[in-house]
């Protein structure tokens, strides 16, 4: 009976890890690509992940693309006083031995001119091109969060 219980615990632990998704490209690890759901009619959405450079040489994310949007762009967001400022980036540096998080409220991939709403449970392809490592396509899971769907989108509409 005790062996069955331990085996059950191990199987549950393995199954929960199966939901995690990451990708490797040379010295880079792209961890947990995700996006937030958007309301019908939204023109923009955001995608997020963590980049880890396990190498000894810096790299740069120089291009993002996705077939679910007319354009995909790298953006930064920062609070300046009480004002949220978003700016497009030409590239994003990934220093050697460092992690760079793309997350709500910071760096992120902006999906502009969405061709359809992003729906929880869907997966969207995103192609990432790095200066040194090359190109990789990842699958970003659209995940509902405690934040209302589309909460990020209205702030991004100001980019039009």
**Is residue 1 situated within a structural domain?**
no
Q: SS3 for 71?
A: strand
Question: What is the mean pLDDT of the segment spanning 68-95?
Answer: 94
Instruction: Tell me the pLDDT tens digit for each residue of 96-121.
Output: 999 999 999 999 999 999 999 999 99
Report the number of distinct structural domains present in the chain.
Answer: 1
- 140 vs 4: which has the higher pLDDT: 140
**Is residue 6 situated within a structural domain?**
no
What's the confidence (pLDDT) of residue 21?
A: 86
For tokens 């549950």, the residue is 12
Q: How far, in Å, CA of 33 to CA of 111, rounded?
A: 14
**Is residue 94 situated within a structural domain?**
yes
Q: Domain of 62?
A: 21-159
Instruction: Tell me the pLDDT tens digit for each residue of 56-69.
Output: 999 999 999 999 99
Under a CB-based contact definition with an 8 Å cutoff, are residues 135 and 122 in contact? no
**Is residue 12 situated within a structural domain?**
no
Going by C-alpha positions, the residue among 149, 7, 147, 159 that lies closest to residue 76 is 159
**Is residue 84 situated within a structural domain?**
yes
- H or E element, residue 15: helix 2-18
- 144 vs 92: which has the higher pLDDT: 92
pLDDT band at 78 (very low <50, low <70, confident <90, very high): confident
Helices (H) and strands (E) in the chain, counts: 2, 11
What's the confidence (pLDDT) of residue 146?
A: 61
**Is residue 9 situated within a structural domain?**
no
How does strand 69-80 pair with strand 83-89? antiparallel
Q: How far, in Å, CA of 66 to CA of 112, rounded?
A: 10
Q: Residue 148: pLDDT above 80?
A: no
Tokens standing for residue 9: 């615990």
Q: Residue 158: pLDDT above 80?
A: no
Query: Any idea what the CATH number is for the domain that residue 69 is in?
Result: 2.60.40.1890
Q: How far, in Å, CA of 104 to CA of 50, rounded?
A: 12
**Is residue 151 situated within a structural domain?**
yes
**Is residue 15 situated within a structural domain?**
no
Q: What average pLDDT does the structure give for the chain?
A: 84
Q: Residue 72: pLDDT above 60?
A: yes
Cα dist from 92 to 14, 30, 81, 137, whole Å: 34, 14, 24, 17
């Amino acid at each position: 009976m005790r062996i069955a219980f331990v085996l059950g615990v191990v199987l549950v632990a393995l199954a929960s890890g199966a939901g995690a998704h990451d990708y490797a490209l040379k010295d880079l690890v792209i961890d947990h690509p995700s996006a937030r759901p958007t309301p019908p009619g939204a023109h923009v959405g955001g995608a997020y992940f963590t980049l880890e450079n396990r190498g000894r040489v810096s790299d740069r994310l120089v291009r993002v693309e996705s077939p679910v949007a007319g354009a995909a762009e790298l953006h930064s967001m920062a609070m300046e006083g009480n004002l949220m400022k978003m700016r497009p980036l030409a590239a994003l540096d990934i220093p050697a031995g460092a992690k760079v998080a793309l997350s709500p409220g910071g760096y992120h991939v902006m999906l502009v001119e969405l061709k359809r709403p992003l729906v929880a449970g869907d997966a969207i392809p995103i192609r990432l091109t790095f200066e040194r490592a090359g190109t990789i396509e990842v699958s970003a899971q659209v995940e509902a969060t405690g934040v209302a769907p589309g909460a990020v989108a209205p702030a991004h509409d100001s980019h039009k």
